[in-house]
Amino acid sequence: MKLIGTRILIVSVVWVAFGSMQLVRSKAPPVSQSDSLPSGAVAFVGGPASLGSGSARVTLEPVAESNTKQRTLEARIGTLARGRHIYLVVRDLQVAGQPGVLFRLYLDLPSDAKPIRTDPHYFGALNFYNAAEAGRFDAPNEKNPMFVSYDITRVLRNLRAQKLLSDQTTLTIIPSGTPAPQSDPRIGRIEIVEQ
């Protein structure tokens, strides 16, 4: 009886400790530190994106297919085979210190828009919770570069139906508040992948 009570206590502690954390499962394969793109890559931003208290906007460069033809996301989502999905992957998250805010992500958001969470361009939020080594905020996490993926298939279909997709795919990143001073959140690489 004592063993069962101990197991229940352990499960309860683990549930309390990890129950409030949002688990992110990704079907996107990890990429090595080299500049090679994963199979199925559609578009990417190769350089780092620094985030601050204002919005950051990056343009994703399309990847040429085997026949050297580049297709827009609008064309790709229109011909997406059943069972296939399109993911946006952010890699190599790094911080000098925890920013203390979430960063909202929008696809092809017009530059003059003042978005709200129910905006059709919104597809998720990014946090930097595990982007620093435990107990160290003075150096980026080089031992375990993080990546997070978002299934953007439904958002792309909705934007296409409303004729809101542009020829040049952009990602707008907006903090939900003011990041902590000198937290220096950065995204090393951004990719869009079809799988």
pLDDT above 50 (res 23): no
Residues 6+ apart with CB under 8 A from 124: 104, 105, 150
Q: Does position 7 have pLDDT exceeding 80, yes or no?
A: no
Task: Report the pLDDT averaged over residues 55-80.
Answer: 81
Q: Quick one: average pLDDT of 54-71?
A: 80
So what's the pLDDT on residue 51?
A: 94
Out of 12-16, 36-40, 60-64, 91-95, which region has the weakest mean confidence (pLDDT)?
Answer: 12-16
Proportion of the chain above pLDDT 90, given as a percent: 43
Is the pLDDT assigned to residue 3 strictly greater than 60? no
Within the chain, strands assigned E span 41-45, 49-50, 56-59, 61-62, 86-94, 103-107, 122-126, 147-151, 170-175, 186-194
Burial (Cβ within 10 Å: 0-12, 13-18, ≥19) of residue 90:
buried
- Average pLDDT over every residue of 144-148: 71
Give the pLDDT confidence score for residue 69 in this predicted structure.
Answer: 63
pLDDT given at position 66: 62
